[in-house]
C-alpha cells in the first residue's frame, strides 16, 4: 500500500489531544471523496474512540488512519490503540436515554455512537491492549 494512504499519530496525554487525529481523517477522507457531512460523522466517531482510549487506557494512544482508494466502494479505516486494562465491549450496555438524562454522569454513549456513525466497529480488548477499528465506506453517487 502506498504510504500516502496511511497516516499514524501518537496522542499526547494532554487536554484536547483527541483532536490531533482529526486532520488525518480530513486529509485521507477528502482524497477519497467523502462528503463534508460524512467526514463530520467519521471525525465524531474517531474523537469518541480517542477520548475513551485517553480516559480508560494507559501508555501511548496510537491512531492509524488508512485509505483504501482501490476498493469499490473506497473506504476509510481508523484504528485506535491503547494499553489499558482492557474491557469486554459486549458487556457494555446500550445507553438508555431516560436514565442518562436524569443521571449525574451523562457519559456512556461512546460505543453506541460509534456504531451508529460507522459502517463497522470492531473492538478487540485484552489486559494491556485494546484496539478499536472503525470503518466507513464511501457512498457511491
Query: Per-residue pLDDT for 11 more than 50?
Result: yes
Query: Per-residue pLDDT for 56 more than 80?
Result: yes
42: left (phi over 0), alpha (psi -120 to 50) or beta: alpha
pTM confidence score: 0.87
Q: How far out from the chain centre does Cα 125 lie?
A: 15
Q: How many domains does the chain have?
A: 1
Please tell me the predicted confidence (pLDDT) of residue 99: 63
Please tell me the predicted confidence (pLDDT) of residue 102: 62
**Lowest pLDDT segment from 26-30, 102-106, 127-131:** 102-106
Query: Which residue segment(s) compose the domain that 106 sits in?
Result: 3-137
The CATH number of whichever domain residue 62 belongs to comes to 3.30.565.10
Distances (CA, A) of 27 to 7, 48, 56: 9, 19, 28
Amino acid at each position: 500500500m502506498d504510504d500516502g494512504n496511511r497516516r499514524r499519530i501518537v496522542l499526547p496525554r494532554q487536554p484536547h489531544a483527541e483532536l490531533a487525529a482529526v486532520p488525518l481523517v480530513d486529509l485521507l477522507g477528502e482524497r477519497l471523496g467523502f462528503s463534508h457531512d460524512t467526514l463530520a460523522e467519521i471525525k465524531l466517531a474517531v474523537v469518541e474512540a480517542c477520548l475513551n482510549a485517553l480516559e480508560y487506557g494507559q501508555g501511548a494512544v496510537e491512531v492509524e488512519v488508512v485509505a483504501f482508494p482501490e476498493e469499490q466502494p473506497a473506504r476509510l479505516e481508523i484504528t485506535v490503540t491503547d494499553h489499558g486494562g482492557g474491557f469486554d465491549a459486549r458487556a457494555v450496555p446500550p445507553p438508555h436515554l431516560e436514565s442518562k438524562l436524569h443521571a449525574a454522569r451523562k457519559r456512556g454513549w461512546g460505543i453506541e455512537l460509534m456504531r451508529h456513525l460507522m459502517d463497522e466497529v470492531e473492538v478487540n480488548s485484552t489486559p494491556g491492549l485494546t484496539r478499536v477499528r472503525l470503518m466507513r465506506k464511501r457512498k457511491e453517487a
